[in-house]
Amino acid sequence: LEVTTPGVFSLTATNFPACSLTKEITIDTTTCNPFIPNIFTPDGDGLNDYFYISNIPVKEMKLVIFNRWGQKVLESNDANIKWDGKDNSGNNVPDGVYYFIALYTDMLNRNYENTGNIQLIR
């Protein structure tokens, strides 16, 4: 059973023909905390190649990333954004520490804002 949205679900088990048991379960994302890494390595080895927020279903997101001088290097409204270490023009940004602002809405229409530093190492 795969559940992709929060809600109340019923599960019925039947031992044909005489017995059945029904249980209701509530699935909610209120206890989920986003996982936001503080380092990533977009070097193409398949490990930690992207910076993204996980562990919480996101419906909408705005991600803005700035370099150490406060210049915007990336802005995206893609709810599934995975930053690969490139700027909005598609150029690789250099190794270093970047600042991010993530504004997002979960599947229950709750709004969040996370900010912080992310280190990029190639």
Q: How do residues 2-44 score in pLDDT, each as one tens digit?
A: 666 666 777 777 777 777 777 777 766 555 678 899 999 999 9
The pLDDT mean for the chain works out to 86
The confidence score (pLDDT) of residue 13 equals 75
The confidence score (pLDDT) of residue 34 equals 80
In angstroms, the CA 44 to CA 6 distance is 34
| pTM for this prediction | 0.72
The confidence score (pLDDT) of residue 83 equals 96
In angstroms, the CA 117 to CA 57 distance is 22
42-56: average pLDDT: 91
Among residues 59, 111, 102, 11, the alpha carbon closest in space to that of 1 is found at 11
The confidence score (pLDDT) of residue 23 equals 78
Going by pLDDT thresholds of 50, 70 and 90, the confidence category of residue 51 is very high
Going by pLDDT thresholds of 50, 70 and 90, the confidence category of residue 68 is very high
Helix, strand, coil % over all residues of the chain, rounded to 5: 0, 50, 50
